[in-house]
Amino acid sequence: GIELGMTNGGKTTLTNSLQKALPNCCIIHQDDFFKPQNQIAIGEDGFKQWDVLESLDMEAMVSTVQAWIRDPQKFARAHGVSVQPDTTDTHVLLLEGFLLYSYKPLVDLYSRRYFLTVPYEECKRRRSNRSYMVPDPPGLFDGHVWPMYQKYKQEMEEDGVEVVHLDGMKSRDELFHQVLEDIRNTLLNSS
């Protein structure tokens, strides 16, 4: 098990390209575990509080991870990942999300943790070009997304969660090769 950092750091892009290069590789996306819109609390600031752990069904995410741990081969097949007959002993799970290291039951499961960051201006710029299933209302980035990112990042640092920092300003290609190399080394050292 592996993985990643902040909103618009390039997590989804990176994990999707890694999946193609790694043997028997499954991805679990934290975004798939957002609760329905009508269950998202509205803060005193008037914004729907999307960027907090309570807005995600983390129990369901953990169950999904446990299903992979129990039987990676079955999990891969069920998720349309073709299992290569000659490498059936190597299975990789990438967990990809913006609040992964703040949830205690998950944090110790990883064999490697990465944290992708870009500066405020770049994050805001990339975000403004994104379209989420629920579009960002005006002011959400500065009023909610960025402050919550800073809060969780600070908690992560206070808890001493060890991460490998990745510079999200590097090119897609450079990040891909850097992390692929690092994962391959991790796999060699653990086998």
Ligand X SMILES: Nc1ncnc2c1ncn2[C@@H]1O[C@H](COP(=O)(O)OP(=O)(O)O)[C@@H](O)[C@H]1O
Q: Which residue is it, tokens 């805001």? A: 124
Decide whether 12 or 178 has the Cβ nearer to ligand NCN.
12
Say whether 31 is catalytic. yes
What minimum distance in Å lies between the beta carbon of 119 and ligand X?
12
Q: Does 17 engage in binding with ligand X (CB under 6 A)?
A: no
User: According to CB under 6 A, which residues from 126 to 165 bind ligand X?
Assistant: 126, 129
Q: Which residue is it, tokens 């798939």? A: 32
CA distances from 15 to 18, 25, 73, 134, 175 (A): 5, 10, 19, 23, 10
User: According to CB under 6 A, which residues from 147 to 186 bind ligand NCN?
Assistant: none
What minimum distance in Å lies between the beta carbon of 141 and ligand X?
13
CA distances from 154 to 8, 108, 125, 148 (A): 18, 18, 23, 10
3-state DSSP assignment of residue 26:
strand
What minimum distance in Å lies between the beta carbon of 174 and ligand NCN?
20
Q: How far apart are CA 67 and CA 74, in angstroms?
A: 9
Which tokens go with 121?
């201006």
3-state DSSP assignment of residue 7:
coil
**Span interacting with ligand X, options 3-11, 63-71, 133-141, 157-165, rule CB under 6 A:** 3-11
What minimum distance in Å lies between the beta carbon of 187 and Mg ion?
24
Q: Which residue from 156, 175, 179, 183 is in contact with ligand X, where contact means CB under 6 A?
A: 175
Which tokens go with 171?
């090119």
**Span interacting with Mg ion, options 8-16, 129-137, 159-167, 169-177, rule CB under 5 A:** 8-16
Q: Does 49 engage in binding with Mg ion (CB under 5 A)?
A: no
Instruction: Point out the residues that are catalytic.
Output: 31
